[in-house]
Amino acid sequence: MGDIGINVPGLVAQLVGFFLLFGLLTVVLYKPVRRMLDERSNRIKESMEQAEQIKEQMAKTEEQVREQLGAARRDGQDILAQAAQMGERLKEEARGEARQEAEVIVARARTEIERERDAAIDEVKRQFVDLAITAAEKVVNETLDREKHRRLIEEVLEQAPGGKG
Amino acid sequence: MGRIRSWWGGLGKWRRIGIIAFLCCLLIIVGRLLFSTPQPHVELPAETLFGSFFTNTMLAALFTIIVLGAVCFAATRRMKVVPKGLQNIVEGLLEILINFVDDTAGKEYGRKFLPVVATIFIFVIANAWLALIPGFMTIGFWHTEGGEQVLIPFLRGANTDINFPLALALVSFVFVEYWGIRSQGFSRYVRRFISVGGFFRGMGMIFKGKVKSGLGALLAGVVDVFVGFIEFISELVRILSLTVRLFGNMTAGEILILMMIFLLPWVVPSLFYGLELFLGFVQALIFCGLTLVFLVMAVTPREEHE
């Protein structure tokens, strides 16, 4: 084997060299790089999880906001509807009141008119009686008792159509 | 440039060949005259520098170790999560190796195999590439040997000393057997090489009187024993093949470059330097790849045949 140079010291020296490099690289290359790669992949995983969480949270928040908006809109619509109803009712009430008032005024006016008319009729009747008596007195020349006459005429008026009663 | 091209295109075929031949001759003559080198002396065993056994290849290996250690130390001294500069380069390169090992051996064994496989790759490729630095094989001292002056270089690529590939092959072999025994258990692992179960079963059947089926089992047992023996031999032959492949390729490459420098000392050897860069990479890849494959084979349980 001497021709191509295999010898024990050379072999041992190269073995020692290999294990020297093996140890050296383990300390300054494999371990730190492995650690770093692991750390990096951990970090990436963590940050991805975080991103996922944030996304979820955002979706949740958005959902909440949407819900709140919906609720607010519904509330607003309710309020509007209520207001419209109330307005309607108020209008209705006002209209009813106005009508009642008008009716009262009309009724009052009617009774007033009736009373005026009665008074007028009474007045007319009384003047007519006086006039008739005066006329009769002139005709008969005070032959008749004044009280008797009045009674007589009133009886006639009572029986006449269009009289009071 | 355009004018030269049109001039070149206008020439006839034979003129062009003549010009090329003339340039080549010029190259050789100028090279031989101005940069002539002494006739190379090819010596397979590594030359000793001083003492009785410290060879120039050991010095080169030590040089490689120091360079690698320094580079890696500088790269990983202050590691940052966001890599930059040298750390980035070294990490990226190692990551390629890690992925290669992990893809072949799986995540679990990849972690365990990485140091040995990666060290083999890095050591071989660094030895091969550093040996291309000018000064390797050319700077040395003169030594008279049998009336002939011989240059003993201070540095010679460690790959070209057969002790280095042999050491690597032994390391590879020992690691393969270690992981095989460790993952399979000693008896299970050894049963690959010594499988006498079938043989004794056949013997037992013959003694019990079932001669016909017993003979069949005996024959199968003999084949098993033979296969186990071949398996064992092939395990040992790996050491030889790994050693000789690396040693032969790298030594041949180095002799090729020496010869080219001697024959055509100008410009031409650069091409062979490029070839050697590629060869160094390929040999490193083959050595570490084979070791990795042997490791995977050793830890993969074989289905027991009954």
Interchain contact, B69 vs A15, CB within 8 Å = no
Say which of A5, A32, A35 has its CB closest to residue B44: A5
Torsion region of A160: left, alpha or beta (phi above 0 gives left; psi -120 to 50 gives alpha): beta
Q: B222 vs B183, B226, B236, B262, CA distance in Å? A: 28, 6, 21, 58
Number of helices followed by number of strands (H, E) in chain B: 9, 5
Searching chain B, which residue's CA lies closest to the CA of residue A6?
B163
Kindly write down the DSSP assignment for every residue of A52-70, as one continuous string: HHHHHHHHHHHHHHHHHHH
**What is the number of structural domains in chain B?**
1
| B82 backbone dihedrals φ, ψ, rounded to 5° | -95, 105
Q: Which residues of A touch B91 (CB under 8 A)?
A: 33, 36-37
Q: First and final CA of chain A: distance in angstroms? A: 167
DSSP code, position B43 = -
Mean pLDDT of chain B, nearest integer: 84
pLDDT at A24: 87
Nearest partner of B172 among B111, B229, B124, judged by Cα: B124
**Is B47 contained in some domain?**
no
pLDDT at A161: 65
Distance from C-alpha of B111 to C-alpha of B99, rounded to nearest angstrom: 10
Rounded to a whole number of angstroms, the distance from the CA of B293 to the nearest CA of chain A is 20
Contact B293, B196 (CB under 8 A): no
Contact B288, B117 (CB under 8 A): yes
**Is B265 contained in some domain?**
yes
Range name among B23-32, B106-115, B128-137 with the lowest pLDDT average: B23-32
pLDDT at A165: 43
Distance from C-alpha of A97 to C-alpha of A92, rounded to nearest angstrom: 9
Nearest partner of A25 among B170, B127, B123, judged by Cα: B123
Interchain contact, B161 vs A22, CB within 8 Å = no
Per-position b or e across A1-14, b if 16+ CB within 10 A of its CB:
eeeebbbeebbebb
Q: Evaluate if residue B265 carries a pLDDT over 60.
A: yes
Q: Which residues of B touch A41 (CB under 8 A)?
A: none
Distance from C-alpha of B173 to C-alpha of B238, rounded to nearest angstrom: 8
pLDDT at B306: 42
**Facing residues of B188 across strands?**
none
Searching chain A, which residue's CA lies closest to the CA of residue B167?
A15
Q: pLDDT tens digits, chain A, 165 residues: what are they? A: 457 777 888 888 888 888 888 898 888 888 888 888 888 889 999 999 999 999 999 999 999 999 999 999 999 999 999 999 999 999 999 999 999 999 999 999 999 999 999 999 998 888 888 888 888 777 776 566 777 777 877 888 887 665 444
**Is B82 contained in some domain?**
yes
Q: How large is the ipTM?
A: 0.77
pLDDT-based confidence at B160, cuts 50/70/90?
confident
Q: Which is it for strands B140-145 and B54-55: parallel, antiparallel or unpaired?
A: unpaired
Nearest partner of B131 among B94, B160, B152, B151, judged by Cα: B160
Angle between helices B85-130 and B211-263 (to 10 degrees): 90
**Is B34 contained in some domain?**
no
Rounded to a whole number of angstroms, the distance from the CA of B162 to the nearest CA of chain A is 6
Searching chain B, which residue's CA lies closest to the CA of residue A8?
B163
Distance from C-alpha of B238 to C-alpha of B170, rounded to nearest angstrom: 9
Q: Which helix (H) or strand (E) holds B148?
A: strand B148-153
**Structural domain spans, chain A:** 8-159
Range of the domain at B169: 56-178+239-299
Distance from C-alpha of B217 to C-alpha of B214, rounded to nearest angstrom: 5
Q: Name which residue leads in pLDDT, B230 or B33.
A: B230
pLDDT at A112: 93
